[in-house]
Structure 1
Amino acid sequence: MTLREELKQFSKWAGFMAILTIIGGGLQALSGVFFFLIGAIPGIIMIIVGIKLWNAKKQADEIVDFDGTNQEEKIQLLINNLTTYFKIQGVLFIIGIAFFIIMFIIGIAAGGFSMLNNSMHPF
């Protein structure tokens, strides 16, 4: 497959995922507002990530439809948008793992305290 064909495939899937991410982020932000304003933050981050992916899609389209302008600059913008996308996704993934570990430890501690409390009061 040529670079042009690869960029066309990338553009299709990046556009599809960008739209899904933006819609999902919007729904998450709206539902998060009802709990507390801070609950909307993950949705807003998803919208930003979706926009970065959409920008990468647009850059890939411009490279495919080469019009004689500086193609290197377009490739640099494509890579920049993808780098930002992956950085944000990576940080969110790390935060998710840390949150899971903290909740797991709290769950074990709560279970231990519950067993300790039950052993002191057998009736």
Structure 2
Amino acid sequence: MMTESLRNSLNIISKWGKAAGILIIITGAFTALFGLPLFVIGAAPGVLMIVSGVYLLKSASSASLMSKEVSEEPHESMLENYATFIKWQVFYLGANVVLVLLFIIFFIILFCIGAVAGYNEIQYNFE
């Protein structure tokens, strides 16, 4: 038997989960689109966001079904999709950490190259 509090919570999860899922998919599409100039590595976080957004939408849809039905299938489906969403979010966060570290290393290398090139241009006149 489902209590009113549980039904209300499932409705909130359904409503906000769908909204968040759609926003994650849209954000992922923009991230993938703007990451294309960096080839596959730049578009990867966007693709991961899109996949996780789809699983969040599926989880929200299952929560909506759970609030209307008492059968066991939506319960399992919601939990499976939510677990997959969490897994994809971890992949996305890991990819972002790797990309940030790569860009920091790239910046340091370019800074060192620029500093060395600048030292070659200095003229010393000790006359």
TM-score, reference length from structure 2: 0.74
Structure 2 residue identity aligned to 1:54: L
Q: Give the one of 17, 23, 27 matched to 2:26.
A: 23
Q: Which of these two proteins has the greater Rg computed from alpha carbons?
A: 2
- Which residue in 1 is equivalent to 2:101? 101
Aligned to 1:53: 56
Between 94-103 and 37-46, the greater mean CA deviation after superposition: 37-46
TM-score normalised by structure 1 residue count: 0.76
Counterpart CA distance in 1 for 2:103 and 2:86 is 25
- Please report the RMSD computed on the Cα atoms of aligned residues, expressed in angstroms: 2.7
Equivalence for 2:5: 2
Matches within 5 A, 1:25-104: 25-29=28-32, 31=33, 35=37, 38=40, 42-66=45-69, 68-69=70-71, 71=72, 73-104=73-104
Instruction: Give the gaps of 5 or more residues in structure 1.
Output: none
| Structure 2 unmatched ranges of 5 or more | none
The letter of the residue matching 1:52 is Y
Instruction: For 1:33 and 1:96, locate their aligned partners in 2 and report how far apart those are by CA, in whole Å.
Output: 12
Count matched residues: 119
CA pair 103-41 structure 1, distance change in 2 beyond 3 A: closer
